[in-house]
Each structure stands twice: as C-alpha cells, then as structure tokens.
Chains A and B, each alone.
Chain A
Amino acid sequence: MIDSAMFAVQVVLLVLGCLFFAVGTLGLFRFSDTLTRIHALTKVDNLGLGFIVLALLPLAPSLAGGVKMVLIWAAALAASATSAHLIARAVHVRPEHSAVQEAADD
C-alpha cells in the first residue's frame, strides 16, 4: 500500500519534471529575443530537473547515492546560472552582433 502510494507520487513528480522541461523548450519558440529565452530555459529547466531528482531520490541505493543525485542538481544549477550570465553578458556587450545573428536564425 505504502509502496504503491510512493510509486504514484514518483510518477507524478517525474511527469511534472518532464512537463517543466517541455515548457522550457516552448519558451525558446514563444519568446522572441535571446535574453528572454534564457529566462525560460534556466528557471523552468531547473525546476524540471529538481522534480526529476526528487522523484528518483527514494530509489537511491544508499545515502551516498542520494547525496550524489542532489549534487548533480546543484551542479546543473550552478552551470545554468553561470552559462546564463555568460550568454547575457555576451549579448549585452555586442547587441548588434546578436541582432544580426537572430535575424539569420529566424
């Protein structure tokens, strides 16, 4: 009984996580400029990964395994914050270049 309840919660969390990833990708299409797109990707994808890690935590083989999963999430957070900042800075420093680039992409 408890097992199946746990399983149901895990499934819900996994589906939620995937939905958030999908929404983050939708942001790439619906938003029109680089900086706004980054907002969608960083924030929503972190939430998606967070839900997936949360869903998988009960399956961790050991305490170390659980800590490892949380570390993966933390590393992804740090990486996405840093890369978001780097892209934003690049756009900021050379806006005309990015406008040309985007026009070419569209």
Chain B
Amino acid sequence: MQSAPSLPPVSLLLRGAALLVVWWALTLGETSALGFGLGVTALVAWLSVRLFPPFGYRLQPLGLLSFLGYFLTRSVAAGLDVTRRLLSPALPVHPGEIILTLRLPEGSPRWLLANTLSLMPGTLSALLEGDQLTLHCLDTREPVEQDVRETERQVARVFGLSLDDIGRAVQ
C-alpha cells in the first residue's frame, strides 16, 4: 500500500519544522538566534524541496520507530560481531561478495537500505546499480541474505510500503 504523494507545501512545512528542531539543538535553544534560524531553515527547506522533490513516500511514524529500534540493536550487534572476530586469534573471517536483487523501489528507500546495510553486521554496500546491490560480506558462511531481507522489510515499513505488492507500487 502506498500513501498519496505529499504536496510540495506540506513537505516544505515538514522539512522546515524538522530543520528548525535541528537549529534549536545546534544553537542550544538560544532565543536571540531564532530569527536568523527561521530565515536559514526556510531557505534550506525551499532548496531541499527544489533539489529533492517529494516523490510520493510518506514516512510512517510507527514504521520509523520500529526501524530505529531494529537499527540500534543491530548496529550494537554489528560492532560486537566485528570486535569478536578481531579479538579472536584465529581471525575468523570469510570475506566475499553477493549480489542481490532489491525489491524496494528506486530513490530514498533503496538509498536508505544501502546505507543501513553498511552499518549492519557483516555487510557493506559496495555497488548499487538499478535494483542490483553488490554487498561485501565479512563472512559468507553466515545467513547474510536472510538478514538483508529483514532489513529490507524494516525499510519498507518506514515508507509504508509492503514488499508483496511492490510491483504495483513502483511507478
């Protein structure tokens, strides 16, 4: 299921609001900087809509939360996994590459998946061409593809996409 494309004014407002929160944090809530911040965030929000027009995915708050939880636990697992291998005298790695066909549509969903996978245990996005993603794996004996598919499902939920009817969702 794909949600209706958000209109430019709506994305302009949402992006502006998000940027304003960032500004507020960067200036440590300094009120005298707020006027300047409003100008800057308005300009940056306008630029971002010009450069990266909204393309029809709306972020799903629940999906985003679930993704964040998944991402945090898996990145801790990733760090511990590499640490364990590195500190083991035998250096148990079995590097190799796999090529996967992504089911996510082009644009932000694929981009988010490729970047996330670089921080997940044992995978590193090497090349993304169309829907073909080349992954460098730390250990090809692990069930890498299974993990990647789970991450893909999590990313799909962030954008409110379902991988089963993805064929229809792709323009």
Contact = CB atoms under 8 A, between A and B. Distances in A.
Interface in A29-47: 30-31, 33, 35-36, 38-40, 42-44, 46-47
B84 to A, nearest CB: 10
A58 B95 CA distance: 40
B42 interface: no
Given A36-B95, A46-B119, A63-B29, A92 B86 contact: no
A15 interface: no
A81 B136 contact: no
Nearest to A39: B138
Interface in A4-40: 20, 23-24, 26-27, 30-31, 33, 35-36, 38-40
A84 interface: yes
Given A39-B138, A44-B82, A81-B118, A88 B28 contact: no
Contact of B87 (A23, A48, A50, A92): A23
Contacts of A44: 79, 82-83, 86
The number of chain B residues touching the other chain, given as a range, is 35 or more
Closest 8 pairs between A and B when the two form their complex, measured CB to CB: A47-B79, A64-B29, A67-B25, A88-B126, A81-B115, A43-B78, A68-B25, A81-B118
Contacts of B134: 92
Interface residues of A, number: 40
Contacts of B100: none
Contact of A43 (B79, B95, B126): B79
Nearest to B125: A85
A74 B171 CA distance: 31
A68 B27 CA distance: 9
A61 to B, nearest CB: 7
Contacts of B125: 84-85, 88
